[in-house]
Amino acid sequence: MCRFMVFKGRDPILLAHLLTRPAHSIINQSYDSRLRIDMRRPINGDGFGVGYYPTDPDPEFEDGPCIFCATTPAWNNLNLARLAEKTRSRLMFAHVRASTAGVLSETNCHPFAYHTLMFMHNGQISNFGHIKRRLIERIRDEYFLHIQGGTDSECAFALFLDCLERLGVDPARQEGRFGHALLRQAMLETIALLREWTTDVRARDGGSAEPSLLNFAVTDGESVVATRYITSRTEEAASLHFSSGSRFAEHEPGQYKMERKDRRSDVILVSSEPLTFERNDWVTVPTNTVLTIHDQIVLLHPIVDEYYQSDPAVSRSSNFAASRGLISPIVDDLTTATSQVPPLEREGRRRSIAA
């Protein structure tokens, strides 16, 4: 299945330092999946997308992201390599696709955008064909007409936009930002609706018992909200990790690491699969958690619903996510290490705040 990556920094970074130069960049992961091997589909060759916010936006244009997508494999796209070597940004989304829904087309490549907002998904919505009509009936025509492709992911973005509007804001506004709290609330309501509808389908129509894997990421150009979520009390969600420090730097050709010269988080990376093999660089986001980046601080909130496990020591099986190529063998080690860190201050840089 898919992989995604988020970068947010105080200073712009050359996209090549994230996309093409690291030996285990997200582009290289698309064909060299060392940590999460899906034997059914070992490569992510069904297209890719890169979205970034310009460092010097032109006031004549809308204050939104630039997005470049293609259906060619990411590792074989010369234009992507050229773009990455000449472009800097403080906030970037990247996504490589192994399709589970929708045909191979640029309209089905992530990330998706709506004015200032950008969205991507790693996973699948269980029984999506059975709940699609209900989802379409819920959202306003404006968001329905904005859907160009045929994926469950883009429909989830339309639902997110509808949830955001029902919270009292206009997603089409071009001035100002929405704020991390509002984005997080809309994301949680999006997940709650998808959870409710898929549960109803299983109870009423005997739909598939497979859980939904909902690793979403959204940004308004300032704040970032990402989720690691599964509709199960016993299974792990698709893997998600984050890293923060003073600089993401190359110390040998192709070899990068997160430098930490002080307690500041000048650089924050969120990724389905770690970009380095340094275990100390990465922290695993716990299953069924929403991650927020606000003012270069990482906040972790548990998603409390019927799939919530209040005991962090409860063991979950990784079999389902692993069968979809969506989990890495280092997750359990990192999760154990993270759970031993005091909850309000992790390594003096990351704050985990319970909702």
Q: Strand 241-245: give its sheet, edge to edge.
A: 66-70, 48-52, 88-96, 3-14, 267-271, 241-245, 283-284
DSSP of 36-77: S--TTS----S-EEEEE--SS--TTS-S--EEEEESS-GGG-
**Secondary element (H or E) of residue 294:** strand 289-294
The yes-or-no answer on residue 66 being catalytic is: no
Of 2, 69, 109, 155, which residue is the catalytic one? 2
**What whole-number distance in Å separates Cα of residue 150 and Cα of residue 81?**
28
What are 117's two structure tokens?
């907002």
Residue 254: C-alpha distances to residues 11, 90, 269 (Å)? 21, 21, 17
Three-state DSSP state, 227: strand
Is the CB of residue 215 less than 8 Å from the CB of residue 229? Answer: yes
**Secondary element (H or E) of residue 297:** strand 297-302
Residues labelled catalytic: 2
